[in-house]
Structure 1
Amino acid sequence: MVNSAASNHSDHYPPRSDLEAAFQVVRRAKVPQVPDIVLSLRDELHRPDPDLIQAADLVARDLAMTGQVLKTINSPLFASRAKISSIRQAVTLIGLRRLTNLVTAEAFSRLLGEREGGARLILDFIQEQASIASAVASLASELTPDEAYLFGLMQGVGCLIFADLIADYGNEWTLQALTAPQALMDYERRALGTDHVTVGFLLAGTWRLPESVALAIYHQHDFEPPRGFGVHLRALIAVARLARVLLALRRGIEDNPVLLDQRDWGLNELAVTPETWGSFVVRLLTDDPCI
């Protein structure tokens, strides 16, 4: 299911019964199907000797995709030293893995489509979360902005699916998503027999995302992620938690104990000092035009 040739973390996957329950729910929902371009790029990525030119030309055939990917690469968040004007140039400079992440994120954003009501609120939140996560990645030497952006999009996709299946889900999500995620998951299990992190893990497998992304989705709300997780995986979770703190600050939520614990854990995990974090928060929330 998860894109990993030989997983070292299978003990930390959801139980089979939980995955089966999630699958039954996903079958009832409007779930984005994986575009051929994403599958082709991920196939190329896992070849012993990937053909970068072929991969770049595959993306370049889609003019809208090309325009959006180049816009993202040339944005302030990616801090490119020179303007990148073609996909061939992009894959040479940033590599196939990062290009694949960007194309996957853009393809996923397209398929989310237009939403209304509670689903619209959740979609706006997911997109904001992804942008902030890509900025927070600058504090984590183990991550690149494209990884954090893709994870930021995918970590809340289960919530978006539930908004189509539960009439009052938007209200519950608004009350609990930021400050009481465990309570939200309890509500989801009572209503549908599964929760958004298990559905997110399942969909990450469907989209053939890296195992680290799938596991970070599934364990994003754990008070303490499993000890066996490596630096890269823990950094993904740390960035997600700090992004949630910033999302809360933008909404005037400052002293919530859950968020404060998440902030402290994330800063400790990334070895970021309170002074550095304070300066980063001021810059991001007041001066950064791309967030």
Structure 2
Amino acid sequence: MSIAPRALARLSNAALYPSKSSLTAAFEIAKKAKIPQMPDVVMALKQEVSSAEPDLSRAANLIAQDLAITGHLLKTINSSAFNLGTKVASVQQAASLMGLKRLSNLVSAEAIDQMLAEQQGTARIIWESIMEEAQLIARVSQVVPGISDDEAYLFGIMHDVGCLIFASISRDYGSAWSLNSHSEPSELIAYEKRNLGVEHHILGFLLARHWQLPDHVAVAICHHHTPGHLNAEDPRVAQLIAISKLAHYLIAISQGTDGLPQMHAYREEAWQDLDISEQDWTDLCDKAAAGELTN
């Protein structure tokens, strides 16, 4: 992994960033797990998007060079988690409809999927759960003003990646994850701190920075289990966290565990922080109860 320990001090300067000690512990875990590098096409696309005069056609051609990412990208864009109103048949069409920044987020998400999807055993179960929740988070974002489905999807894929990394290096982690991940996350976090020395959201933050994801996405990953309202300068941070908590609650409804205290707290926090109409809220809960949101 290319992040050097000396860079951790810079990362921990901001009030909402993890402490240097927790980032150092996460760095040690990441070294053991042999974290892959982001594909060259993704980094080239990021450079194009951030250039003074980004070129839509040039960016689309960059993406099209990677057939695997292109195929997954078009499948994702045309899924029920996204609502473009038309069938997207090419990267060029997607770029025209979505714009480069949105498309760049989805390309990053698909690259992460491609890097991490080849899992076995418990890690495979965790990855499938992460992808299912990412789709749900993207769907919820469609009724939340101020958050685009592409950044919600990218956040959704990344927010629990730390759990996947833990499962790859610890035989016992899967049992703790299975028991607590969707009902009592605080118990899972306590287990991680006690047995692995750092929590999955800290590791997720470090990986988000390593892969050069947007800063507000990285901060939201870091705090997606933080109780109460987070006073971040960028309102998208609090919105992504609240969408994540609502997604947790909706999954709990589908599993019949929504009455547990932590899921009730997530429901209340999401209700306070998200500008969702009562009708949209009711529709989401009804669909969760009917098992229609995670299909």
Change (3 A) 1:225 1:43: farther
Find out whether 1:87 has 2:91 as its counterpart: yes
**1:259 counterpart (263, 268, 283):** 263
Find out whether 1:280 has 2:284 as its counterpart: yes
Corresponding position of 1:162: 166
Corresponding position of 2:16: 12
Q: Alpha-carbon deviation of 1:121?
A: 2.0
Segments of structure 2 that go 5 or more residues without pairing to the other structure are: 4-10
Corresponding position of 1:65: 69
Question: What is the aligned length?
Answer: 285
Decide whether the 8 Å contact of 2:287 with 2:293 is kept in 1.
Answer: no
1:44-84 Cα offsets, whole Å, 9 max, x none, are: 12112212211100111222322221222223332223322
Find out whether 1:151 has 2:155 as its counterpart: yes
Corresponding position of 1:240: 244
Decide whether the 8 Å contact of 1:76 with 1:290 is kept in 2.
Answer: no
Corresponding position of 1:21: 25
RMSD value, Cα: 2.0
Corresponding position of 1:42: 46
Change (3 A) 1:246 1:34: same
1:21-65 Cα offsets, whole Å, 9 max, x none, are: 110111001423211111111111211221221110011122232
2:73 and 2:97 mapped to 1: Cα distance? 14
Corresponding position of 1:213: 217
1:158 and 1:255 mapped to 2: Cα distance? 27
| TM-score, normalised by the number of residues in structure 2 | 0.90
Answer with 216-225 or 276-285: which moved more: 276-285
Q: Which has the higher contact order (CA 8 A, sep 6+)?
A: 1
Q: Alpha-carbon deviation of 1:274?
A: 4.4
| AA of the residue aligned to 2:265 | D
**2:197 counterpart (175, 186, 193):** 193
Answer with 218-227 or 197-206: which moved more: 218-227
Corresponding position of 2:120: 116
Decide whether the 8 Å contact of 1:267 with 1:273 is kept in 2.
Answer: no
1:279 and 1:289 mapped to 2: Cα distance? 10
1:248 and 1:137 mapped to 2: Cα distance? 18
1:275 and 1:243 mapped to 2: Cα distance? 17
| AA of the residue aligned to 1:137 | S
1:74 and 1:180 mapped to 2: Cα distance? 33
1:135-170 Cα offsets, whole Å, 9 max, x none, are: 111121111111111111100110111112222100
Decide whether the 8 Å contact of 1:77 with 1:290 is kept in 2.
Answer: no
Q: Percent identity?
A: 40
| AA of the residue aligned to 2:132 | E
1:101-133 Cα offsets, whole Å, 9 max, x none, are: 111111111111332332122112101110110
2:272 and 2:54 mapped to 1: Cα distance? 37
1:267 and 1:257 mapped to 2: Cα distance? 15
Segments of structure 1 that go 5 or more residues without pairing to the other structure are: 2-6
Change (3 A) 1:285 1:67: farther
2:44 and 2:196 mapped to 1: Cα distance? 34
1:187 and 1:288 mapped to 2: Cα distance? 32
Decide whether the 8 Å contact of 1:133 with 1:239 is kept in 2.
Answer: yes
| AA of the residue aligned to 1:193 | G
Change (3 A) 1:289 1:258: closer
| AA of the residue aligned to 2:139 | A
Decide whether the 8 Å contact of 2:231 with 2:238 is kept in 1.
Answer: no
| TM-score, normalised by the number of residues in structure 1 | 0.91
Decide whether the 8 Å contact of 1:133 with 1:243 is kept in 2.
Answer: yes
2:294 and 2:191 mapped to 1: Cα distance? 35
Corresponding position of 1:4: none
SS in 1 for 2:81: coil
